[in-house]
Amino acid sequence: MSNLDRTISVAPMMDCTDRHDRYFLRLISKHVLLYTEMVATGAALKGDRQKVLGFNNFEKPLALQVGGSNKKDLAEVAKIAEDMGYDEININLGCPSKKVQKNKFGACLIKEPDLVAECLDAMVQACNIPVTAKTRIGFDDVEDFDYLNNFVGKMAATGCKTIILHARKAILKGLSPRENLKIPKLNYPMVHQIKKENPNLEIIINGGITTCSEIKEHLSNVDGVMIGRAIYQSPYFLADIEREIFDNSDILTRTEIVEELVRYVSEEVKKGTRVNQIMRHTVGLYHGQKGSTEWKRYLSANMMARDSDFQKVNHILEIVQNNEKEKLAV
């Protein structure tokens, strides 16, 4: 196990955890480990490397998640990740989408433990940063503790000492990726038991965790908690995590976050980034707060189109500052 703090991490989410979202989330939390979206080996090796893999050092600590099943390609990407300054490389063994299965990576690899072991071994040999795996507890009709435990053992034997377990099985046929996040039942006890059987491994639990009290309960059974949708939908949940899990009270207010974000947008626009590419990630910033509707309405009307005007970003400060004044007046 590495010295990387994985107590809390934000799950890799396609079309969500791009570099702009990660910058935004890092403004809220200093301590959580962030993950990229899944990057296919082909894109990493043949695409515009800076565009596909580039990141701002402010985002760190940061892990790259990769998808693939060719051990040579995976090893090459692992080395690239290390050279670029990533803190970890993670292989996706949990995505159930048809497109991913067609390219032979993601959750379908749970059915091929030996191939997974070969891939992990090649990655471990290729780099000096931690190589980790994110998978599910089963697939289709298979939700068996012994199968999962043997799978975990094969991965661990390669030198992969951190395993993230989404506490649902993957249904490889008949369900969409979105349905796979809800329909298969959560089985937290199985993940907890994996930790008991493998005390020398770092086991991270993922799936359906939405409160700090739930996080604390899981941390009494496993080494870390990974959260996805609950943070994307309500990013300021990270502030609660900073206070309650990391005992950190040095947290930016929502207004301060927006002020920092406006500066970031200003610099990014000069590089050719579109306003909507950044601001789309902030829709949930005021989730559950007074003024949330106005915030979402302004974003929808002014910042979600491809040709959104940067000048309108400055006006957003008036909205959040007015929200703060209204709170103080109550």
**CATH number for position 240:** 3.20.20.70
Residue 237 CA to residue 228 CA, distance in Å, equals 11
Mean residue pLDDT across the chain: 92
Relative to beta strand 224-227, strand 202-206 is parallel
Residues 233 and 268 in one domain: no
Whether residue 187 is predicted with pLDDT greater than 80 in this model: the reply is yes
Tell me the C-alpha distance between 194 and 203, whole Å. Answer: 8
pLDDT at 315 (0 to 100): 72
**Closest to 181 in 3D by CA, of 113, 238, 234, 230:** 230
Residue 17 pLDDT grade (very low, low, confident, very high; cuts 50, 70, 90): very high
Does pLDDT of 318 surpass 80? no
What's the pLDDT band for 330 if we cut at 50, 70, 90?
very low
pLDDT at 2: 67
117 lies in the same domain as 66: yes
The answer, yes or no, to whether residue 1 has pLDDT greater than 60, is: no
Please indicate whether residue 308 or residue 229 has the higher confidence score (pLDDT).
229
Q: Of the candidates 244, 270, 294, which is a domain's last residue?
A: 244
Domain boundary among 244, 270, 286: 244
**Which segments of 167-284 are extended strands (E)?**
202-206, 224-227
- Verify that 45 and 63 share a domain, yes or no: yes
Residues 309 and 224 placed together within one structural domain of the fold = no
Using CA atoms, how far apart are residues 294 and 298, in angstroms rounded to an integer? 6
Q: Residue 98: its pLDDT value, please?
A: 82
Phi-psi region of 139 (alpha: psi -120 to 50; beta: other; left: phi over 0): beta
Give the end of a domain, one of 192, 214, 244: 244
As a whole number of angstroms, the distance between CA 22 and CA 17 comes to: 6
Domain presence at residue 3: no
Token pair for 21: 């979202």
Q: Please state, for a pLDDT cut of 90, what percent of the chain lies above it.
A: 76
How much is the average pLDDT of 3-21?
97
Residue 177: the pLDDT is: 82
The answer to whether residues 97 and 195 belong to one domain is: yes
pLDDT at 326: 59
Residues 293 and 201 occupy one common structural domain: no
Query: Averaged over 17-25, what is the pLDDT?
Result: 98
Residue 329 clears pLDDT 80, i.e. is over it: no
259 and 224 in a common domain: no
pLDDT beyond 80 at 321 = no
Q: Is 173 exposed, middle or buried (0-12, 13-18, 19+ CB in 10 A)?
A: exposed
Please indicate whether residue 242 or residue 270 has the higher confidence score (pLDDT).
242
What is the total count of domains within the chain? 2
Between 96 and 136, whose confidence is greater? 136
- Mean per-residue pLDDT, 185-201: 98
pLDDT tier for residue 211 given thresholds of 50, 70 and 90:
very high
Residues 147 and 27 in one domain: yes
C-alpha span between 226 and 204 (Å, rounded): 7
Q: Distance of CA 245 to CAs 32, 63, 134, 237, 266, Å?
A: 10, 21, 23, 12, 33
Whether 126 and 237 share a structural domain: yes
Are 143 and 283 in a shared domain?
Answer: no
| Rounded-to-integer distance, Cα 151 and Cα 135, Å | 10
Would you state the pLDDT for residue 327?
Answer: 56
Peptide bond into 235 cis (omega under 30): no
212 classed as catalytic:
no
236 part of a folded domain: yes
Please state, in angstroms and rounded to a whole number, the distance separating the CA atoms of residues 230 and 163. 21
List the Cα angle 152/156/162 in 5-degree steps. 85
> Catalytic pick from 95, 119, 127, 160?
95
By residue count, the chain amounts to 330
Range of the domain at 70: 8-244
